[in-house]
Copies of this chain bind each other. A is one copy, B any other.
Amino acid sequence: MSITGKLLINGEWVTGQSGTYQAVNPASGAKLEPILSKASSAQVDAAVAAAAACAAEFRRCSLAKRAEFLRACATEIMALGDELVQRAIAETGLPQGRIEGERGRTCFQLNMFADVVEAGDFLDVRIDTALPDRQPLPRPDLRYMNQAIGPVVVFGASNFPLAFSVAGGDTASAFAAGCPVLVKGHSSHPGTSELMAQAIDKAIKQTGLPAGVFSLLMGAGREVGSALVVAPEVKAVGFTGSFSGGMTLVKLANDRPEPIPVFTEMGSQNPVILLPKKLASEAEQVAEGFVTSLNMGVGQFCTNPGLVLGIAGPELDRFIKAAEECLAKQPAGVMLNQGIQEAYNEGVATISSQPGVTCNAVGESHQGKTGFCGQPTLLTVSASDFIANTALTEEMFGPASLLVTCKDLAELEAVVTSLKGQLTGTIQTAPGEMSEYPELIDLLNTRVGRLLVNGYPTGVEVCHAMVHGGPFPAASDVRFTSVGSAAIYRFLRPICLQNYPPELFPEPLQNSNPLNIWRLVNGSRTRDAI
C-alpha cells in the first residue's frame, strides 16, 4: 500500500474532509505527489470517540499482548522498506544514512518498550497485606499499581520524522503504558507519517487489538491539534517542538474544565562550559568537536550546543580561532522546511543585532544552492552583555551558537545563574579539573535535565538512564523525560485497590505473582509470591 493521502480513523482509511494539500521537498522546493487530505472536526471527534471506547480494553490487555503489539509495530516499520526511506528523505532533506539510522532507533525504541512492558517495573506495584489483628484498628489489604492514564494525543515533531513522530518515543511509551494514541502528524512529513501509520495499523490488526487504539489525523494549521487537546476524553498530550507551539498546548490543556498533563519538550540552548585546563591542553580538539556537533543535521536538534561559556584568556582565544576555522569549512545544509529556515535566519539576525554581539564566523554560503539551506554561524558576546539582555537566551533552532566570554569564574557563575531551564549542560574538563568548581556544577545541575562531561549533547541515547527533559522552559514538566524507558511514566497514574476481591485482581496484583515482576510487598522489594 503506497501513500494515499488518507487518514487512519478507528481502523479505517478515510479521506480527510477539510481540504487538501501537498508535501514539499525542502531540497528543491517542489511539491510532492500525491494530493493529501486534512481532517475535519467531525473526523477528529470520531477518532477521539474510538480511542475512548477502547481505552478500558487496552488498559486491561495483558502485558504480553502489549509487548507483542510493540514488536509488531517495529517489524511492520522495517517491512515498509525503501519506500519509507525515500519518502522521508524527500520530505525532510535529511540524508539516507540519517533516515536509516533514525528508523533503526525508532524500531529499537519500540522493542525496548516491549521489554519494559514485560519487565513490569513501570507498574511500581506495592502491596500492603491486611493486618486484621492490628491495634487500635486493623489494616485492610491495599494494592497499588500504575495504570494507563487514558487516551493520549501525540504531536509529530518536524526534526525527527520517524523517532519523534507517528511511531516515535511518545507513541511507543503511551502504547507501552496501555493508552490509545491519537497522532496529529506533522505537515512537514505527511507521507512519511501515513506510511508509519500503515505499519501501526497492520500491527493492530495482527495482534487483534481494538482499532481505536491508534488514529492518524493530519491538518495544516492548529485546528486539528487544538481540537484533540480540548477533547474531554483525552487525558494527556506529548509534544516536541517550539516554545510558542508548546505553550499554546499547555494553555489549552490548563484551561480545560478538566486540566490534563501536557509534556512539551521545547528545546533549549544547551550550554557548553569550557574549563580552562581543558582548553589549555586541547582547545583545538574541543573546538572541532563542538563545530561538528553544532552543524550535525544542520543543527536541527533540541540538544544542539547553542551556547558556549568560557573564561577569557589565551586558551579561549585558541578555541575561538580553531572554531572559526573549522566553521568556515562547514557546508550549508538543507533544513527541514521553509518555515524552519526562515525562523532560523530571523533568529540569527535578531541575536546578531543585539548590543555587544559580534559574528565571528559563518560556514559556507548557501547562495546558488537549491532548497531551504541554513548557514552555520558563530556569534560572540561578553558575559555582561549576555546577562543584561534576556533576548540572548532565545534558542536559534539551527546551526548557530553564541559564545559568551566571561572575565572570571564569578562572571561565569553569574551567566549560569542567569540561564533558564535547559535540556542539557556540558562541561569540557581536564582530568580532575571539574572538582575545582563545585558551585558552578551545582548551579548547572539545577538548570538541566542531563549533565554531560567531555562530550556533546547532540547524541540522545535511547536507554533506561536517559533524561530528555529539564527545568522550564526546556520542558513543561521537569519531573519527566520524553526519551528513554522512563518516558512511560508520563502516561501512567497510580490506583489503589483496597480490600478488593482476590478473584478480580489484575495479574500484576495477584498473590502468586504470575508475571514474575518485582514488587514492593510490605516494604520489601521481591519477586516472591505472597
Interface residues, chain A, CB within 8 Å of chain B? 55-56, 101, 115, 119, 121, 124, 126-128, 136-137, 139-140, 142-144, 149-150, 250, 254, 258-261, 420-421, 429, 431-432, 434-435, 441-442, 445-446, 448-455, 459, 461, 463-467, 469, 471-473, 476-481, 484-486, 489, 492-501, 503-504, 518, 520, 522-523, 525
CB neighbours (8 Å) of A518 from chain B are 525
Identical chains bound together, number: 2
Q: How far is the CA of A441 from the CA of B472 in the complex (A)?
A: 38
Q: How far is the CA of A486 from the CA of B525 in the complex (A)?
A: 14
Are A451 and B494 in contact, with the CB atoms below 8 A?
A: no
Are A461 and B495 in contact, with the CB atoms below 8 A?
A: no
Assuming A142-B461, A451-B497, what are 18 further A-B pairs, CB within 8 angstroms?
A128-B463, A140-B452, A140-B461, A142-B463, A142-B466, A149-B478, A258-B472, A261-B477, A432-B501, A445-B495, A450-B496, A452-B497, A453-B498, A454-B499, A466-B496, A479-B489, A479-B494, A481-B496
The 9 A-B pairs of least Cβ separation, nearest first, read: A452-B498, A467-B496, A144-B465, A142-B465, A126-B465, A450-B496, A126-B464, A128-B463, A128-B465
Q: How far is the CA of A432 from the CA of B503 in the complex (A)?
A: 9
CB neighbours (8 Å) of A520 from chain B are 121, 464
CB neighbours (8 Å) of A431 from chain B are 501
CB neighbours (8 Å) of A448 from chain B are 495
Are B479 and A139 in contact, with the CB atoms below 8 A?
A: no
Are A472 and B259 in contact, with the CB atoms below 8 A?
A: yes
Are A56 and B498 in contact, with the CB atoms below 8 A?
A: no
Known: A139-B461, A140-B461, A451-B500. Contact between A494 and B471, CB under 8 A? no
Are A461 and B492 in contact, with the CB atoms below 8 A?
A: no
Known: A144-B486, A465-B142. Contact between A455 and B495, CB under 8 A? no
CB neighbours (8 Å) of A493 from chain B are 471, 478-479
Known: A421-B258, A471-B258. Contact between A127 and B495, CB under 8 A? no
Are B121 and A501 in contact, with the CB atoms below 8 A?
A: no
A522 and chain B: residue at smallest CB distance: B464
A475 and chain B: residue at smallest CB distance: B493
Q: How far is the CA of A484 from the CA of B494 in the complex (A)?
A: 12
CB neighbours (8 Å) of A461 from chain B are 128, 139-140, 142
A463 and chain B: residue at smallest CB distance: B128
CB neighbours (8 Å) of A501 from chain B are 429, 431-432, 434-435, 453
CB neighbours (8 Å) of A476 from chain B are 259
Contact of A479 among B143, B261, B454, B485 (CB under 8 A): B261
Contact of A464 among B128, B261, B486, B497 (CB under 8 A): B128
Q: How far is the CA of A331 from the CA of B77 in the complex (A)?
A: 68
Are B128 and A455 in contact, with the CB atoms below 8 A?
A: no
Are A144 and B479 in contact, with the CB atoms below 8 A?
A: no
Known: A448-B495, A498-B450. Contact between A523 and B464, CB under 8 A? yes
Are A435 and B504 in contact, with the CB atoms below 8 A?
A: yes
Q: How far is the CB of A326 from chain B (nearest CB, A)?
A: 21
CB neighbours (8 Å) of A137 from chain B are 459
CB neighbours (8 Å) of A492 from chain B are 479
Are B523 and A150 in contact, with the CB atoms below 8 A?
A: no
10 cross-chain CB contacts under 8 A: A56-B442, A115-B523, A142-B463, A142-B466, A149-B479, A250-B259, A429-B501, A449-B496, A453-B497, A480-B494
A55 and chain B: residue at smallest CB distance: B446
Q: How far is the CA of A472 from the CA of B150 in the complex (A)?
A: 13
Are B150 and A455 in contact, with the CB atoms below 8 A?
A: no
Contact of A465 among B127, B149, B150, B485 (CB under 8 A): B127
CB neighbours (8 Å) of A128 from chain B are 461, 463-466
CB neighbours (8 Å) of A523 from chain B are 115, 119, 464
Are A500 and B453 in contact, with the CB atoms below 8 A?
A: yes
Kindly name the residue among A124, A431, A464, A469 whose own CB sees the greatest number of chain B CB atoms within 10 A: A464
CB neighbours (8 Å) of A446 from chain B are 55-56, 150
Are A499 and B258 in contact, with the CB atoms below 8 A?
A: no
Q: How far is the CA of A258 from the CA of B446 in the complex (A)?
A: 14
Are B465 and A143 in contact, with the CB atoms below 8 A?
A: yes
Q: How far is the CB of A7 from chain B (nearest CB, A)?
A: 27
Q: How far is the CB of A135 from chain B (nearest CB, A)?
A: 11
Q: How far is the CA of A124 from the CA of B494 in the complex (A)?
A: 16
Q: How far is the CB of A54 from chain B (nearest CB, A)?
A: 12
CB neighbours (8 Å) of A481 from chain B are 494, 496
CB neighbours (8 Å) of A473 from chain B are 258
Are B498 and A455 in contact, with the CB atoms below 8 A?
A: yes
Contact of A498 among B144, B260, B451, B500 (CB under 8 A): B451
Q: How far is the CA of A200 from the CA of B144 in the complex (A)?
A: 31
Kindly name the residue among A136, A258, A434, A501 whose own CB sees the greatest number of chain B CB atoms within 10 A: A501
